[in-house]
Amino acid sequence: MDSTLAVKIVKDQGVDLEAVHFTTPFCLCDKCAVNAVGEEMGIKVHHIFMGQEFLNLLADPPHGYGSQMNICIDCRILMFRKARELAKKIGAEGIVTGEVLNERPFSQRPLAMRLIEREAGLEGRVLRPLSAKLLPESELEKDGAVDRDGLYSIRGRRRLPQMRLAEELGIRDYPCPSGGCLLTDPNFAKRLRDYIAHEGKLTVEQVSLLRLGRHFRLGAANVIVGRNEDENRFLFSVAERDGIPRMRVADYMGPDTLIMGEADDRVLDRGAAITVRYSDAPKGSPVKVTYIHGNESTIFAQAIGDEELDRWRV
């Protein structure tokens, strides 16, 4: 919503704009909604996916984490650098963002905003129309490209002023009103922390595995159990493609389970017991679990108890 408002405010002053929509492997945003807003506003939308470059920052972010695994300061520095490159390519004079002073405690404090601008090589070149009157004049205002009197002095976490302004400016549809980054989700952050602690580096493919299924940590191995047909299909295809060991209950409906990392017999037995737990097999006696790693073999396992299960869950 904030970006949509910023675009509208600056566009109404007769400034030519092109939008850029950033995504990371952790976004829950709807790209189509962004395109629809761009179409309605009559502006071109560029899409930039921050993939491996973003993931490389995640294990050890130079400016630390927010409340969970969100690396908002480093993320914004990367976004601003990419925006600067794009601005150069398309001949843009400055950058406009929907940031609101003190809306986010980690990355939208005055000091953090200045640091981000500086490290991205954009000092003074970022205009934040929603909070501009509370901030030093940007170059776009100094040059007269934008009239400061037509800008706003919104601050803080309450969204009410933006909602009122949206009403005033006739904006009804806006994408992601409350944000959508998995890195701020405490449950996902726990899973990610566990993964980084054991594996160090992340790839885009690994993130797609972290985003789905139930995960269990068994020593050096990570056991991933599908929660529904779609997830099972995906896990199956990843296992086939990458040669990852997988298991499934032989004679009953049940999930596909991937065994990632080093797995000894104990891990395989536990993985099989977890697989049985989430299948339709009777829980009180051992059943056949098919284990596929190159060849097929059979493990007999009884469903793991809930208490023990919770000990391994991440």
Question: If binding is defined by CB under 6 A, does position 202 make contact with ligand SF4?
Answer: no
Cα–Cα nearest to 210, from 54, 96, 314: 314
Query: CB 125 → ligand SF4: shortest distance, Å?
Result: 19
Among positions 73-102, residues that touch ligand SF4 (CB under 6 A) are: 75-76
Query: CB 75 → ligand SF4: shortest distance, Å?
Result: 3
Cα–Cα nearest to 257, from 301, 306, 290: 290
Q: Which is nearer to ligand SF4, 70 or 232 (CB)?
A: 70
Give the Cα-Cα-Cα angle 229, 235, 239 (nearest 5 degrees).
145
38 vs 3, 35, 114, CA distance in Å?
A: 11, 5, 28
Q: Which is nearer to ligand SF4, 184 or 275 (CB)?
A: 184
Name the β-bridge partners of 299: 289
Put residue 173 in one of left, alpha, beta given phi > 0 → left and psi -120 to 50 → alpha: beta
Return contacts of 214-217, CB within 8 angstroms, 24+ apart. 214/278, 214/313, 215/191, 215/313, 215/314, 216/270, 216/271, 216/274, 216/309, 216/312, 216/313, 216/314, 217/312, 217/314
Q: Which is nearer to ligand SF4, 27 or 87 (CB)?
A: 27
Each residue 48-77 as x (binds ligand SF4 by CB under 6 A) or -, in order, gives ----------------------xxx--xx-
Q: Which is nearer to ligand SF4, 162 or 222 (CB)?
A: 162
Query: CB 68 → ligand SF4: shortest distance, Å?
Result: 9
Q: Which is nearer to ligand SF4, 15 or 176 (CB)?
A: 176
Give the Cα-Cα-Cα angle 79, 179, 61 (nearest 5 degrees).
45
Please give the distance of CA 153 from its chain centroid, rounded to a whole number.
29
Query: CB 45 → ligand SF4: shortest distance, Å?
Result: 17
135 vs 108, 132, 152, 295, CA distance in Å?
A: 12, 5, 10, 65
Among positions 157-186, residues that touch ligand SF4 (CB under 6 A) are: 181, 183-184
Give the Cα-Cα-Cα angle 294, 298, 300 (nearest 5 degrees).
145
**How far is it, in rounded angstroms, from Cα 215 to Cα 196?**
14
Please pick, from the candidates 3, 4, 24, 222, the single residue that binds ligand SF4 as defined by CB under 6 A: 24
Q: How many residues lie near ligand SF4 (CB under 6 A)? A: 9
Q: Which is nearer to ligand SF4, 51 or 286 (CB)?
A: 51
Binding stretches for ligand SF4 (CB under 6 A): 24, 70-72, 75-76, 181, 183-184
